Amino acid sequence: MSPDSCKHLILSGKGNIDWDRDCMEISFSAGKKSSGFTLLEMMIMIAILGVLASIAIPTYVGFVERARVQSSIADLKRISLIIEKYKSDEGLFPASLNDVGCDNNLDPWGNQYQYLNTGEVLNEEGKAGMPQRCIGCRWDKFERPLNTDFDLYSMGKNGETRLNIDHRQSRDDIIRASNGGYFGLAEAY
């Protein structure tokens, strides 16, 4: 505020005039602005952040879970190729993942990958004259073995599984099925 406009405001008022004090008060009161947020503005901002968080967090969690599933599928494909190379070199499938150096591989949820030489189980049942049910093999919803060569899978997020992949504890498993024709979630097979 200029000194001339300050003098004009003081002269129009009543009472004693103290030019310095009065001009100083007018200058400070004319330039005052509110700083900070009101309670209503803060509440609106918190509500907006809450809505954004309720949208972003589940989306992020879903993205992380899909990435884990894709990582597990890639691991199963890699291990499957190692097992098939072992068969071409040795003439038979390995008895365990230890035979191909994959026994310490963990899925993205921290569980070991599961392996069963189903061809060997079927051969043993055939030699014993038993009906070939592949005891210990995993089954689809039509009670057929998922694979006739070898079974390889991750127990998924819950770390639990059942032989029938249609069971609720097996739906999140990441499986190899149709002798390597399918890699993915058990619930989608």
* pLDDT in the model for residue 51: 94
Q: Which two tokens stand for residue 83?
A: 């097992």
* pLDDT in the model for residue 138: 85
- 154: three-class secondary structure by DSSP: strand
Mean pLDDT of the chain: 82
* pLDDT in the model for residue 178: 92
- The domain segmentation of the chain, as residue ranges, is 53-188
* Of 7-16, 47-56, 76-85, 118-127, minimum mean pLDDT range: 7-16
Binned at pLDDT 50, 70 and 90, residue 120 comes out as confident
Q: Alpha helix (H) ranges present in 91-149?
A: 118-127
- 106: three-class secondary structure by DSSP: strand
* pLDDT in the model for residue 129: 62
* pLDDT in the model for residue 20: 58
Binned at pLDDT 50, 70 and 90, residue 84 comes out as very high
Q: Has residue 52 got a pLDDT over 90?
A: yes
Of 136 and 20, the one with more pLDDT: 136
User: What span, in angstroms and rounded, lies between the C-alpha atoms of 82 and 85?
Assistant: 5
Asked whether the beta carbons of 115 and 152 are under 8 A apart, the reply is yes
CATH superfamily of 53-188: Glycoprotein, Type 4 Pilin (3.30.700.10)
Q: Where is mean pLDDT largest: 25-29, 108-112, 130-134?
A: 108-112
Binned at pLDDT 50, 70 and 90, residue 48 comes out as very high
| Average confidence (pLDDT) over 69-91 | 95
Query: Computed over its alpha carbons, how large is the radius of gyration of the chain?
Result: 36
